[in-house]
């Protein structure tokens, strides 16, 4: 699939994590980060909690990015500020967070 560099791409970032300690406290922290996600270009943010395992959460962030930025996503993820933010989350979650980026292929 070819994408022009000035094309706007829609992506869905999905972060799955397991809370250590009280899930309600982690949920408060996660919800408090919503403005940060929106500031980074998130157009829709959802917080999902597993009904069978309340310590398991999934954050879905829909965002738009130019193809040029998306092509350099790996470079962006190595940015010191972003790495520091993610390291803070990893420390809080004891490294139990997985992040995937998807494109919507619904017809």
Annotate 25-54 with three-state secondary structure. HHHHHHHHCHHHHHHCCEEEEEEEECCCCC
Domain boundaries, the chain: 8-102
Three-state DSSP class for 66? strand
Q: What is the pTM of this model?
A: 0.65
pLDDT band at 57 (very low <50, low <70, confident <90, very high): confident
Q: List the alpha helices (DSSP H) in the chain.
A: 23-32, 34-39, 67-71, 73-77, 80-92
Check residue 51 and give its pLDDT: 94
13, 43 contact by CB (below 8 A)? no
User: In CATH, which of 1.10.1200.30, 3.30.70.100, 3.40.50.10070, 3.40.50.2300 is domain 8-102?
Assistant: 3.30.70.100
């Amino acid at each position: 699939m070819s994408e022009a560099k000035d094309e706007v791409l829609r992506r869905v970032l999905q972060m799955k994590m397991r809370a250590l300690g009280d899930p309600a406290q982690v949920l408060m922290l996660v919800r408090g980060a919503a403005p940060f996600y929106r500031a980074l270009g998130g157009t829709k943010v959802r917080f999902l909690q597993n009904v069978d395992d309340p310590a398991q959460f999934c954050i879905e962030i829909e965002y738009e990015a130019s193809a040029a930025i998306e092509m350099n996503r790996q470079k962006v993820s190595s940015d010191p500020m972003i790495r520091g933010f993610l390291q803070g989350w990893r420390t809080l979650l004891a490294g139990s967070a997985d992040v995937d980026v998807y494109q919507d292929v619904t017809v």
